[in-house]
């Protein structure tokens, strides 16, 4: 096991501490089972090649047996290093997904556009999840998303219900050592290693799963799109980290949720929403990653050319929604999916920020982020940079959405209901400027033609004022 320093300094310290601590704990578990573990600590290993060279010189292996890596870069790196040190390499099947890569490619072959919903229904039938004996959905509907969109006003009217705080995992000696090493070797990386909050062992991950099912799953569905200042986790599972790290299997998470529903402990809409995130979305984005190939991450169909604003790292911006979400990112290396898509991704989309720079930021800053999961989520879903392969319309929204789903607009210097002028929320200016810049592309799209038509019907003076305001804001970045 090799802790490479190469490239680590750009990642959030919480993420680095999590990876090193999880590795070190796993090494100790293996030793307790009788394995001999050749472990190379970050302080003595400049890169993977150096660690592997020392291993080969010491142990003279004939070949490496490696579970199939979850990214193109990692697979190429293993093959390249193996060739350099003169040993063969054999890959075993990955175990972190429920649909194999070749299976997904076979399903996608010949389709001009892939629909996650079609994939999701097939996975439910295949695995027998929330379906009856005839293969039909329990409750009569495959997708209960329409029941899972309660607004901030509805949450407030209901008394602002909140669950007990998620389990906090106190650092043991191994984790404290990982934290110290991260601070020593990556002093310029964002965040603080001491803010590590995620489980780093299999036992703790199982406790986290039980905590979610018992305390947050029941209300997850109806409030999954909600955003609230000071409540960064709300009813979300926080399980993407242990699942993506391999501490939990996706199917055991699905089964735990379904068992709670069958026991009458949680409603169907919450369980279906959670199952869809795993069986539907997680499996789908992994499939798209391997289907589209390594070049997918470089897609830029909308020809966005503006550099990522510095405030994405500093958090210093007068837009309160961005300031609050980025504050949480900088502290915990986490935001839930609506914050990522409709606050951060939406801004990057309508501001015309370069997809490659946005993808790098998301991958470096989030504790659950790896190449396979971020490529489709950022390039396809958030930025529409793949030209519509992942989503039939861009996820562009004005300030109205953020005002409806959060309290972020309260106290902001900008007003969400002002469409132009100094008080206008930049999301409003950028939203219409986005459709002005891309009118030729979206005028013929049935899901966006109305926005383009509405924009073109505005008086010329209004259009000039809005585009001038958008340009002035973008220049200020």
How much is the pLDDT for 410?
95
How much is the pLDDT for 179?
98
How much is the pLDDT for 9?
77
- Considering the domain architecture, whether residues 324 and 264 belong to the same structural domain is answered as no
- Considering the domain architecture, whether residues 273 and 325 belong to the same structural domain is answered as no
Torsion of CA 118, 382, 470, 401, to 10 degrees: 60
Q: What is the pLDDT of residues 110-134, one digit of tens each?
A: 887 889 999 999 999 999 999 999 9
Number of domains in the chain: 2
Q: What is the pLDDT of residues 183-192, one digit of tens each?
A: 999 999 999 9
Beta partners for residue 90, in sequence order:
65
Does residue 254 sit within a domain? Answer: yes
* Environment class of 240 (CB within 10 Å of its CB; exposed 0-12, middle 13-18, buried 19+): buried
Q: Can you read off the two tokens belonging to residue 194?
A: 């001491």
- Considering the domain architecture, whether residues 385 and 461 belong to the same structural domain is answered as yes
- The CA distance from 194 to 179, in Å, is 6
Which structural domain, as residue segments, surrounds residue 110?
A: 96-159+216-223+238-292
- Considering the domain architecture, whether residues 284 and 320 belong to the same structural domain is answered as no
Angle formed at CA 102 by CA 96 and CA 108, multiple of 5 degrees: 110
* Environment class of 299 (CB within 10 Å of its CB; exposed 0-12, middle 13-18, buried 19+): buried
Does residue 119 sit within a domain? Answer: yes
- The CA distance from 396 to 439, in Å, is 13
How much is the pLDDT for 111?
84
- The CA distance from 194 to 133, in Å, is 50
- Considering the domain architecture, whether residues 269 and 323 belong to the same structural domain is answered as no
- The CA distance from 278 to 275, in Å, is 5
Q: Can you read off the two tokens belonging to residue 392?
A: 């039939």
Does residue 118 sit within a domain? Answer: yes
Does residue 331 sit within a domain? Answer: yes
Backbone angles phi, psi at 313, to 5 degrees: -100, -40
Does residue 52 sit within a domain? Answer: no
Q: With contact defined as beta carbons under 8 Å apart, do 274 and 212 qualify?
A: no
- The CA distance from 254 to 7, in Å, is 34
How much is the pLDDT for 420?
87
- The CA distance from 386 to 112, in Å, is 13
Nearest to residue 78, comparing CAs of 95, 93, 66? 66
- Considering the domain architecture, whether residues 339 and 382 belong to the same structural domain is answered as yes
Does residue 390 sit within a domain? Answer: yes
Beta partners for residue 67, in sequence order:
92
Nearest to residue 379, comparing CAs of 263, 301, 275, 465? 301
Does residue 335 sit within a domain? Answer: yes
How much is the pLDDT for 403?
98
Q: What is the pLDDT of residues 401-445, one digit of tens each?
A: 999 999 999 999 999 999 888 999 999 999 999 999 999 999 999
Backbone angles phi, psi at 105, to 5 degrees: -60, -40
The 3 state secondary structure assigned to the chain is CECCCCCHHHCCHHHHHHHHHHHHHHHHHHHHCCCCCCCECHHHCCCHHHHHHHHHHHHCCCEEEEECCCCHHHHHHHHHHHHHHCCEEEEECCCCCCCCHHHHHHHHCCCCCCCHHHHHHHHHHHHCCCECCCCCECCCCCCCHHHCCCCHHHHHHCCCCCCCCCCCCCCCHHHHHHHHHHHHHCCCCCCCHHHCCCCCCHHHHHHHHHHHHHHCHHHHHHHCCCCCCCCCCCCCCCCHHHHHHCCCCHHHHHHHHHHHHHCCCCCHHHHHHHHHHHHHHHHHHHHHHHHHCHHHHHCCCCCCCECCCCHHHHCCCCCHHHHHHHHHHHHHCCCCHHHHHHHHHHHHHHCCECHHHHHHHHHHHCCCCCHHHHHHHHHHHHCCCCCCCCCCCCCCCCHHHHHHHCCCCCCCCCECCCCCCCCECHHHHHHHHHHHHCHHHHCCCCCCHHHHHHHHHCCHHHHHHHHHHHHHHHHHC
Beta partners for residue 88, in sequence order:
63
- Considering the domain architecture, whether residues 271 and 370 belong to the same structural domain is answered as no
- The CA distance from 327 to 112, in Å, is 40
Q: With contact defined as beta carbons under 8 Å apart, do 424 and 469 qualify?
A: yes
Q: How many CB atoms lie within 10 A of CB 391?
A: 17
Q: Any idea what the CATH number is for the domain that residue 381 is in?
A: 1.10.579.10
- Considering the domain architecture, whether residues 363 and 451 belong to the same structural domain is answered as yes
How much is the pLDDT for 385?
98
Q: Any idea what the CATH number is for the domain that residue 245 is in?
A: 1.25.40.80
- The CA distance from 397 to 227, in Å, is 15
How much is the pLDDT for 78?
93
| pLDDT under 50: residue ranges of the chain | none
- Considering the domain architecture, whether residues 280 and 323 belong to the same structural domain is answered as no
- Considering the domain architecture, whether residues 353 and 272 belong to the same structural domain is answered as no
How much is the pLDDT for 7?
75
Does residue 78 sit within a domain? Answer: no
How much is the pLDDT for 457?
96
Contacts of 83 (CB under 8 A, 6+ apart): none
- Considering the domain architecture, whether residues 250 and 363 belong to the same structural domain is answered as no
Helix crossing, 449-457 with 426-437: angle to 10°?
Answer: 100
- Considering the domain architecture, whether residues 286 and 315 belong to the same structural domain is answered as no
């Amino acid at each position: 096991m090799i802790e490479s320093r190469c490239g680590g300094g750009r990642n959030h310290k919480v993420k680095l501490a999590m990876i090193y601590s999880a590795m070190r704990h796993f090494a100790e578990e293996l030793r307790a089972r009788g394995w001999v573990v050749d472990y190379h600590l970050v302080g003595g290993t400049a890169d993977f090649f150096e660690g592997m060279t020392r291993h080969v010189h010491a142990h003279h292996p004939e070949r490496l047996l490696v579970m199939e890596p979850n990214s193109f870069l990692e697979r190429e790196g293993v093959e390249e290093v193996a060739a350099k040190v003169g040993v063969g390499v054999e890959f075993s099947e990955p175990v972190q997904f429920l649909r194999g890569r070749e299976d997904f490619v076979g399903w996608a072959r010949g389709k001009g556009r892939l629909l996650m919903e079609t994939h999701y229904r097939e996975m439910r039938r295949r695995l027998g999840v929330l379906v009856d004996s005839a293969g039909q959905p329990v409750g009569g509907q495959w997708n209960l998303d329409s029941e899972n969109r309660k607004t901030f006003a509805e949450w407030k009217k209901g008394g602002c219900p909140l669950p007990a705080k998620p389990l906090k995992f106190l650092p043991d000696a191994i984790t404290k050592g990982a934290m110290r090493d991260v601070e020593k070797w990556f002093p310029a990386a964002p965040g603080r290693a001491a803010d590590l909050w995620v489980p780093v062992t299999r036992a703790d991950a199982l406790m986290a799963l039980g905590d979610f099912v018992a305390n947050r799953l029941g209300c997850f569905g109806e409030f999954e799109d909600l955003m609230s200042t000071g409540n960064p986790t709300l009813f979300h599972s926080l399980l993407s980290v242990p699942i993506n790290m391999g501490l939990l299997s996706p199917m055991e998470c699905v089964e735990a949720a379904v068992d709670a529903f069958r026991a009458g402990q949680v409603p169907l809409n919450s369980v279906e929403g959670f199952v869809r995130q795993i069986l539907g979305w997680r499996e789908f984005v992994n499939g798209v990653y391997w289907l589209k190939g390594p070049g997918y991450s470089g897609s830029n169909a909308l020809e966005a050319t503006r550099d990522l604003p510095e405030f994405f790292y500093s958090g210093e911006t007068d837009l309160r929604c961005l300031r609050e979400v980025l504050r949480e990112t900088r502290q915990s290396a986490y935001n839930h999916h609506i914050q990522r898509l409709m606050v951060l991704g939406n801004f990057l989309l309508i501001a015309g920020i370069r997809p490659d720079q946005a993808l790098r930021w998301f991958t470096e800053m989030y504790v659950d982020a790896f190449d396979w999961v971020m490529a489709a989520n950022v390039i396809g879903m958030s930025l529409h940079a793949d030209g519509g392969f992942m989503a039939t319309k861009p996820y562009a929204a004005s300030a109205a959405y953020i005002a409806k789903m959060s309290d972020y607009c309260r106290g902001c210097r900008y007003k969400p209901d002002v469409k132009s002028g100094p008080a206008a929320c930049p999301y409003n200016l950028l939203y219409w400027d986005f459709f002005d810049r891309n009118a030729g592309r979206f005028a013929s799209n049935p899901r966006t033609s109305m926005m383009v038509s509405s924009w073109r019907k505005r008086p010329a003076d209004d259009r000039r004022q809005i585009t001038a305001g958008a340009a002035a804001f973008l220049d200020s970045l």
